Amino acid sequence: MTNAGIEKKDVRQSESRTKKNILLVGTDPERTELITKICEEVGLTVFHFPVLENLKIDRDFGIVYSELDVSQFETLARMFSKSKRSPSFILGLDNPDTKAIVKAVRLGAYDCIDINETSPKEIKETLRHIKENWELDLLQDNLETERFNKIQGDLDWNSFRKDLIRKDLQTKSAYLISNIRTSLSQGSGFGALVSAIGLIRKKAKQNGNHYEVPATLIDLLVSNAETANRIIEIFNEMDYFIHNAQIKEEYSISQIHNLFKKEIQNVYELARFKKLHIKICEDKYVSSRAAVGIHEESFKKAVEELLLNAIKFSEAETTIYVLFTLKKRKLLISVLNSPKIEGGSKKGIPNEESEFVFQPFARLTKYVHEDIPTLDYGLGLPLVEKIVSNHEGKIATFNVTSFLDEEEETMVLMEMDLPISQKV
């Protein structure tokens, strides 16, 4: 076996061990003994922290079972946002109401149980179900690895060289697949939709030929169905922008500047809520004859997404800047923000990820921003890229160093490069 094969085997073994680890948080001695016994029957290795404040995450876990209140559970979920692989959270609550369950699901709980009503058998089945799904995933991964090794063995040297060139792309593809899985299983949308249906099945009471379901659960179902539908709409938009040319009109630089000002006003309250300021440069182009072909509806959408992206990832109490630079043959529109560090990520966008962020489902963190009206599916910037491309332009992102406050600061730049013509 090659070194690469040994390394992949070690990785698979490590992942297998991770998926067998379960962490118990906040359980009393009696409950700990009960849950531990159940876990041993399922084949899980138990780690226990009775108090959340003492929790130290020094390894990966496949499952985290906690008996905390919802606010403490939110803290727990945030602690694991830095993990390379997110565990499946099970939250045990004491006589929970529907509101608490809904909030827990939105925070990332795979399942919520009533510790007074849920039997050991039901807990065992839930744990077994999670473990079985993981084992199937691991088996599929192993099969893919074996197929890859077989193909590699059949390649000649020249093909092997090409494979080395593609190595980074393959890594990114694997990362994208992981992001797609994370996006579809966490937060609002498809994942929460599945969880909502599961909750309805649990909470529904049969009354003749009908079922009585708490109104809050129906609201949750409708809300996540709308989110899932919005995801489909975004893909439809992207598909439309790719395959259909939009009729454009000539816009002066001042008109584009004014369009930005209107979109900034539209997100003003959201920025204020996040304690952010948005500043746009002065319009110095009133007398300019330069023009850009603009499809107003789609371009406004791109501007909105850029501003929301900056708001979402900015440190509180900082300023987002919008700058215009007119070159001989192009207009550069720059959006700069001071990035916050979340989920264990580095500040800003790493150079190696600067192209990757424009791929569908690409996300640098797994953190869900419920307070921003975006989907957290990694679709906003790809949509922007398609719109800008349809305007025969380009968009790029990279880190820049700012000394606005006399101290060195890393800022993220999103920059549109649009071709210009001269008005007759």
**Residue 121's pLDDT band (cuts 50, 70, 90):** very high
In whole angstroms, give the CA distance from residue 140 to residue 171.
Answer: 17
Residue 278: pLDDT above 80? Answer: yes
> How many C-beta atoms surround the C-beta of residue 254 within 10 A?
16
Residue 9: pLDDT above 50? Answer: no
| Cα torsion through 41, 44, 50, 55, rounded to 10 | 180
In whole angstroms, give the CA distance from residue 129 to residue 264.
Answer: 47
Per-position DSSP letters for 260-278, written without gaps between them: HHHHHHHTHHHHHHTT-EE
**Residue 257's pLDDT band (cuts 50, 70, 90):** very high
What are residue 389's phi and psi, to 5 degrees? -60, -35
Provide the total of helices (H) and of strands (E) in the chain, helices listed first: 12, 15
| Partner residues linked to 249 by β-bridges | 294
Q: Edge to edge, what strands does the sheet with 330-337 contain?
A: 277-280, 319-326, 330-337, 409-419, 394-402
Residue with token string 């979402």: 312
Residue 264: pLDDT above 70? Answer: yes
pLDDT at 130: 83
In whole angstroms, give the CA distance from residue 114 to residue 119.
Answer: 9
Per-residue pLDDT, averaged over 253-262, amounts to 96
**pLDDT tens for each residue of 199-237:** 777 777 877 887 787 788 777 777 777 777 777 777 777
**Residue 284's pLDDT band (cuts 50, 70, 90):** confident
Write down the pTM of the prediction. 0.50
Of 107 and 138, which is predicted with more confidence? 107
> Domains in the chain, please, with CATH?
3-131 (3.40.50.2300), 245-422 (3.30.565.10)
Furthest-apart CA atoms within the chain: distance in Å: 83
What are residue 45's phi and psi, to 5 degrees? -95, 125
pLDDT at 19: 59
How many Cα atoms occupy the beta-carbon half-sphere of 356 within 13 Å?
Answer: 19
Of 355 and 33, which is predicted with more confidence? 33
**Residue 183's pLDDT band (cuts 50, 70, 90):** low
In whole angstroms, give the CA distance from residue 251 to residue 258.
Answer: 11
